[in-house]
Amino acid sequence: MSKFKKKKGGELPAISTASLPDIVFMLLFFFMVATVMRDSTLMVMNVLPAADQIQKLDKKDRVMYIYAGKPSTRYQDKYGTSAKIQLNDKFSTVADVAAFVLAERASKRQELQNVLTTALKVDGETKMGLIQDIKQELRKVSALKINYTTRVGDYAQNIK
Amino acid sequence: MAKRSAPEVNAGSMADIAFLLLIFFLVTTTIETDSGINRKLPPMEDQVDPPIIREKNILPVVINKNNQLLVEEELVDIKDLRQVAIDFLDNGGGQGEEACDYCQGKRSPASSDNPDKAIISLKNDRETSYKIYIAVQNELVAAYNDLRDREFKRLNPNLGLSYVEAEKRADDPRTSIEEVERLQPKLDAVKALFPQKLSEAEPSKPSN
């Protein structure tokens, strides 16, 4: 009898939850650091072509992004299926590129204005005509440093 | 009989453990950055008198509207492009002042004189697919990188790095300034041996 009583008496000690906030903060910090914020929501399809002879892009504050490709499925009935340029959050035409670059350049700090890179995030299915037009516009405003942003992979993935 | 309950676990050090983990993850995670092929566009103002370049120093690469690759007017498979470009750049057919003492090519008089003179001219149609264009760009950059790797290893045999690795290290912000200063002149020397002379033609009108 006494044996059973003993067991009942030895209750489990409450688990301390004092460190729970620490764990939560740790997770929070981890995700804060690891998440990459996307500046603008993509409105175009953006399957980048693959390449393996690549260099890392400059620091984020020295880069401006130009997206191009077919409008994504939910915009297709409104904008059609021909390739479009996306600057910031809206569809644009080639004529807007120069103004966009100048505005972006003006928004950067003085010392960065001459080292800006234009990252072209263009869908693999796009025709070169559009890209040539963009490049001509970039030359007009002498934004000469460009980067064809790609996926890491073998070039053979592009030929199919 | 003494009543014994399990002693409470001391949680005071839990915060330390949490911070340790946090710091571990902070150090080990690298935020994914975009990468791609860097290019420099030519400035808009036209050159007053374009320099005269001999035909044999130009390797014309054309991608037509059916995504076919033509090198010197001949159909070439894209997987052979790298070797074709290497053969062209590394030919070193020049004589006298234009001779190239580090080239290992065939030294054919019909191909380029010297890597410093050799120009690859890339031309594409408006209907060319971007994917193919990137694949071609990638292979041309690969040709330069292969040659630069070779020269870098020849000039710096005990460094144990290839050109691409050394360049990556020099660009890495974590590398110490002394090391960057040590690597940079070596990189520049190799770059001067095989300067990347990739010319892109003005957009061509759609051909019928």
User: How distant is the Cα of A70 from the closest Cα of chain B, in angstroms?
Assistant: 13
Other C-beta atoms closer than 10 Å to the C-beta of A148 total 22
Question: Rounded to an integer, what distance in angstroms lies between the CA atom of residue B129 and that of residue A126?
Answer: 6
Whether B32 is covered by a domain: the verdict is no
Q: What is the pLDDT of residue B67?
A: 85
Residue A136: strand, helix, or coil: helix
Average pLDDT of the residues of chain A = 82
Does some domain include residue B64?
yes
**Cβ A144 vs Cβ B43: under 8 Å:** yes
* CA-based nearest residue to A71, from A147, A126, A139: A126
Any B CB within 8 A of A147 CB: yes
Contacts of A53 in chain B (CB under 8 A): 37, 138, 141-142, 145
pLDDT of residue B32: 62
Q: What distance in Å separates the CA atoms of residue B181 and residue B159, rounded to the nearest whole number?
A: 15
Count of domains observed in chain B: 1
Domain presence at residue B205: no
**Considering chain A, what percentage of its residues have pLDDT values greater than 70?**
88
Beta strands in chain B (DSSP E): 35-40, 58-63, 69-71, 74-75, 119-124, 198-200
Beta bridge partners of B123: B62
Q: List B71's β-bridge partners, or say none.
A: B61, B74
C-alpha A58 chain-centroid distance:
14
Separation of alpha carbons A33 and A35, rounded Å: 6
Residue type, B143: A
Nearest to B203 by CA among A134, A148, A124: A134
Locate all alpha helices (DSSP H) within chain A, ordered by sequence: 2-9, 20-34, 73-79, 95-107, 128-140
Question: Chain B contact for A82, CB < 8 A?
Answer: no
Given this model, what pLDDT does residue A103 score?
92
- Say which amino acid occupies A74: R
Instruction: Tell me, yes or no, whether B53 lies in a domain.
Output: no
Structure tokens at A93: 């035409």
Q: How many residues does chain A have?
A: 160
Closest-CA residue of B relative to A115 is: B40
pLDDT of residue A47: 86
pLDDT in tens, B17-73: 767 777 776 666 656 667 888 888 888 776 666 777 788 888 889 988 888 888 888
Distance (Å, rounded) from C-alpha A28 to C-alpha A23? 9
Q: What is the pLDDT of residues A3-58, one digit of tens each?
A: 555 555 567 888 777 777 777 777 777 766 766 655 567 888 888 888 888 888 87
Distance from CA of A56 to the nearest CA of B (A): 4
Please give the Cα distance from A7 to A4 (Å, whole number): 5
Range of the domain at B137: 59-200
Residues of B in contact with A147 (CB under 8 A): 34, 36-39
Which one-letter amino acid corresponds to residue B98? E
Q: What domains can you pick out in chain A, each with its CATH number? A: 50-154 (3.30.420.270)
Could you tell me if residue B158 is left (phi over 0), alpha (psi between -120 and 50 degrees) or otherwise beta? alpha
Give tens-digit pLDDT for A63-72. 888 999 999 8
Q: Is there a domain that residue B25 lies in? A: no
Is residue B7 a part of any domain in this protein? Answer: no
Instruction: Establish if B31 belongs to a structural domain.
Output: no
Which strands sit side by side in the sheet containing B74-75, from one edge to the other? B74-75, B69-71, B58-63, B119-124, B198-200
pTM of this prediction? 0.77
Q: What pLDDT shows up at residue B208? A: 41
Token pair 């906030």 is found at: A21
pLDDT at A99: 92
Residue among A55, A128, A146 minimizing CB distance to B133: A128
Element containing residue A118 per DSSP (H, E): strand A117-122
Do residues B75 and B64 make contact, with C-beta atoms less than 8 angstroms apart? Answer: no
Chain A CB contacts of B26 under 8 Å are: 29-30, 33
The three-class DSSP label of residue A69 is strand
| Tokens read off for B190 | 């190799």
Percent of chain A with pLDDT strictly greater than 90: 11
Report yes or no on B170 lying in a domain. Answer: yes
Q: Which residues contact B30 (CB under 8 A, 6 or more apart)?
A: none
pLDDT tens per residue across all 208 residues of chain B: 566 778 777 766 666 776 777 777 666 665 666 788 888 888 877 666 677 778 888 888 998 888 888 888 888 888 888 898 888 888 877 777 777 888 888 888 888 888 888 888 888 888 888 999 999 999 999 999 999 998 888 888 888 888 888 888 888 777 888 888 888 888 888 888 888 888 887 655 544 4
DSSP string, A62-78: GEEEEEEESBPHHHHHH
Report which DSSP code applies to B60: E
